[in-house]
């Protein structure tokens, strides 16, 4: 069934649908990987789940997997916001956590370790070192500030982006340590809802699957 909007303004988060790399567990940062057929159907399902909303503003990551998700969900005019691009994983882009852990000789935890645990490699993201978690958090704060302009006028806002970026965005919304994002699992095409309670920013729903 569709998600029922609240009478109070909400910041709604939609992760992009499945890609080949999300299905295989490969870290997908700035690599521009398209949706699979299953991912496209997930995006349509998410659109049906959000049919009750009349968003005053819709923003999307510049990467094609997010833009395509927004389009198939019914928001072809979503405004591209560069701050919604996924964490730049640098040398770990395209690698699974298991692969990275094997190279390190221990378990790899991205929120604790960051992405600069391996040396820059031209075979991965053109040798870019990748972003620090603090840099991702700063971008997330920019998204929150932009959304606030609409939320303060009583309008709902939708953002379509990526797993790690949206997990960090939730911590920026709450004003807590970005590392708390490691406890916020987020599936492909999952919907999450940020809102207000007793004058505090809250999480009203998290990791809600798209409705079939």
CB-count burial class (<10 Å; 0-12, 13-18, 19+) for 199: exposed
The encoded tokens of residue 44 equal: 């349509």
Tens-place pLDDT, residues 113-131: 999 998 877 766 677 889 9
Residue in 18, 40, 86, 131 annotated catalytic: 86
Tens-place pLDDT, residues 168-204: 999 999 999 999 999 999 999 999 999 999 889 999 9
Band of residue 132 on the pLDDT scale cut at 50, 70, 90: very high
Residue in 16, 27, 124, 162 annotated catalytic: 16
What pLDDT shows up at residue 126?
Answer: 73
Asked about 16 being catalytic, the answer comes back as yes
Closest to 95 in 3D by CA, of 113, 108, 111: 108
Query: Quick one: CA dihedral 178, 152, 190, 36, positive or negative?
Result: negative
Asked about 86 being catalytic, the answer comes back as yes
Structural domains for the chain: 11-88+131-208 (3.40.50.1240), 92-130 (no CATH)
pTM summary value: 0.95
């Amino acid at each position: 069934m569709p998600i029922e909007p609240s009478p109070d303004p909400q910041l709604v988060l939609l992760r992009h649908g499945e890609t080949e790399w999300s299905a295989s567990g490969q870290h997908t940062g700035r690599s521009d990987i398209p949706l699979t057929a299953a991912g496209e159907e997930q995006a349509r399902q998410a659109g049906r789940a959000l049919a009750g909303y009349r968003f005053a503003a819709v923003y999307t990551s510049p990467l094609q997997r997010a833009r395509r998700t927004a389009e198939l969900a019914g928001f072809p005019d979503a405004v591209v916001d560069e701050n919604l691009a996924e964490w730049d994983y640098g040398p770990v882009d395209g690698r699974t956590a298991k692969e990275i852990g094997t190279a390190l000789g221990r378990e790899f935890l991205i929120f604790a370790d960051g992405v600069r645990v391996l040396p820059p490699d031209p075979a991965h993201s053109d040798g870019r070192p990748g972003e620090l978690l603090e840099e991702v958090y700063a971008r997330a704060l920019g998204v929150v500030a932009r959304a606030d302009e609409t939320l303060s006028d009583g309008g709902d806002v939708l953002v379509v982006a990526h797993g790690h970026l949206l997990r960090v965005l939730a911590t920026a919304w709450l004003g807590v340590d970005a590392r708390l994002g490691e406890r916020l699992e987020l599936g492909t095409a999952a919907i999450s809802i940020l809102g207000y309670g007793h004058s505090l920013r809250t999480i009203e729903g998290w990791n809600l699957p798209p409705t079939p």
